[in-house]
Chains A and B, each alone.
Chain A
Amino acid sequence: MDPTVDFLAAAIRIATPLLLAALGEMLTERSGVLNLSVEGAMLAGCLASALGAHWSGSPYFGLATGALGGLAVATVFSLVAIRGRVDQVIVGTALTLGTIGVTGLWYRWAFGAEGLGLTLPTVVWTPTVIAGALVVTVSVLLRSTIGLRLRAVGESAVAARAIGIGVERYRAAATAVGGLLAGLGGATLVLGQVGTFAERMTAGRGFIAIAIVVLGRWHPIGVMLAAVGFGALTALQFAFQAVGIALPYQLFLMLPYLVALAALAGFGWRARAPADLGRSLS
């Protein structure tokens, strides 16, 4: 194949799980909820998709169970942080750490302590198509009445409540959608790429997704551009190492993160987070 096409394919492949998770987190944050358990929801999605695809033999069923895995983590977050009004940062972090343990334990319980190397059926481009369709859907939805209310909840929960919007209901719904998408992102890693589960296989992608939300300025198109940009830099990093350029490989490993940092420093100052982000309704 044409090297440029190959490179773009790699960039989009790498971007897809990030884009799905970041879109979900963007919706969650637009409702005023800072959910740091994206990494955990993605990892839960990885395991749930592996279990689902293994059990049913169908990758599509696996994608669905993966999304539900993410939803499970988001539901716990919702109950404790939104309904219970416990500090969102702490709940999100604890959930991510907890999910790392739980998924590892569950995987070994299901497949044995040495259970690596499942041969799961894979679908390469389906998640990308879903992600693309979602970017459009979310862009449209944000302009609808529901979208307007969601944004009102994120900007000023008190004002939104005053005009009769069910703030916590909107926040719980946005968090649930965020969990579904993060789970789907995790499922993409398993069923779109690796074909098996490995413990901690998300390797920080959930946190990168949160950064992508900021880079994309809480807008679906921006989030998509940021995710694809990050995917392209990561693909470039692998390409540089594979070509064998005589520079320390650490430079290449740093590349996507350095550029992301520079972009945040460069344009970040103009971006504005939802005003009530991370604040419980008091």
Chain B
Amino acid sequence: MRITLLLLLVTLVACGRARPAGDGAGGETFRVGLITPGSVADAAWNEGAYRGLMAIRDSLGVEVSHVEARTPGEQEEALRAYAAQRYQLVFGHGFEFQQPAERISAEWPNTVFIVTSGERVQGNVAPLVFRIEEGTYLAGLVAGGLSKTGKIGFVGGIELPPIRRGYEGWVNGARRMNPGIETRLTYLNTFDDAAAGREAALAMIRVGVDMLHHNADAAGVGLFQAAKEQPGVFVFGANADQSRLAPDRVVGSAIIDLPRAFLTVAREVKDGRFSPKVESFGLAGGVIRYLANPSLDSLLPGTVRTALAAAADSIAAGTLLPVPR
């Protein structure tokens, strides 16, 4: 019986964790690994990275691999596992990978570690910085222009610096249209619990919020369900085009074109042109965008439309800082 139990445990744990592919031999073929902090079926942050990885595979014809690692211990171990198998390029998809990558990078000088939404360069660790606030500013501007109650709400997964910056951009954008706008902020402390996302949204709607935005990955899906149930409430998608989650309630999405950013970096590394630096992406390069949902376009008054275009131009030109430093 003990052996049965052991087998059961091993099988179950093996089912729960995918392992990096590859046999660990040689460095001839170019190989790219991706570690996401959550499920790639989140319609947002992690899905974008997975699409990026697929774009790298298809455009550059290289070998790719993906694993999920949620805890700091697993994340460091996953980075180490790829490096030990001589992957030339490893993406740690999120701010939380910065420190683990820095800790292990010196041991593996032949691997480039890219930390998406990271903060600084150290050795062969380089961040991709997404000026996510440039997109959320535009979403906030539209929300500020459309809100009838003068109250907007934001639901965050966990308070990480990029999420905080996205929130600040959203608020500043809304203030541009309505300086007296009231804002609400809720953190869920989870990126998975979609029911909690829905309850947080419903609690905001109860106090009069009619425009919602999030950065909570799969938990954020709950917001779309809440908006579908409540008349006059609209949502703005985050990180990916989320209009399909509630086609008649999503005004637009603040998106990060992760595939484009991933492909840019992978191409540089593969061609040997890469030198570790802070790669920063914003509206100007088209990696950050505000994507309106065409079927709700008629909601926008002319003044909002004009302000949106003007703000987008000034941000791209660098004359408007969505979140002053």
Task: Spell out A's residues near B (CB within 8 Å).
Answer: 3, 6-7, 10, 13-14, 17, 80, 84-87, 90-91, 94-95, 97-98, 100-102, 104-105, 107-108, 111-117, 189, 193-196, 198-201, 203, 234-235, 238-239, 241-244, 249-250, 253
Contact = CB atoms under 8 A, between A and B. Distances in A.
A97 B41 contact: no
A113 B194 contact: no
Give the contact-size bracket for chain B: 35 or more
Given A117-B245, A199-B41, A241 B196 contact: no
Interface string B1-31: 1101100110111011100000000000000
B221 interface: yes
Contacts of B209: 242
Interface of B: 1-2, 4-5, 8-9, 11-13, 15-17, 39-43, 47, 50-51, 153, 159, 182, 184-187, 189-190, 192-196, 198-200, 202-204, 206-207, 209, 218-219, 221-222, 224-225, 228, 242, 244-245
A97 B203 contact: no
Contact of A203 (B187, B196, B198): B196
A238 B17 CA distance: 33
A238 B203 contact: yes
Contacts of B207: 239, 242-243
20 contacts: A80-B5, A84-B4, A86-B1, A97-B12, A105-B15, A108-B41, A113-B40, A113-B50, A116-B47, A117-B242, A193-B195, A194-B222, A196-B221, A199-B192, A203-B196, A242-B207, A243-B184, A249-B186, A253-B187, A253-B189
Given A10-B203, A98-B12, A116-B218, A86 B4 contact: yes
Contacts of A17: 195
A194 B153 contact: no
A5 to B, nearest CB: 10
B221 A116 contact: yes
A116 B221 CA distance: 9
Contacts of A253: 187, 189
Given A84-B4, A94-B9, A102-B15, A238 B194 contact: no
Given A116-B47, A239-B203, A242-B200, 4 more contacts: A80-B4, A84-B1, A201-B192, A238-B186
A6 B1 CA distance: 52
- Most chain A CB within a 10 A radius of its CB, from B16, B159, B193, B203: B203
Contacts of A238: 186, 199-200, 202-203
A115 B41 contact: yes
A114 B41 contact: yes
Contacts of A203: 190, 192-193, 195-196
Contacts of A14: 195, 199
Nearest to A111: B41
A82 B91 CA distance: 45
Contacts of B199: 10, 13-14, 234-235, 238
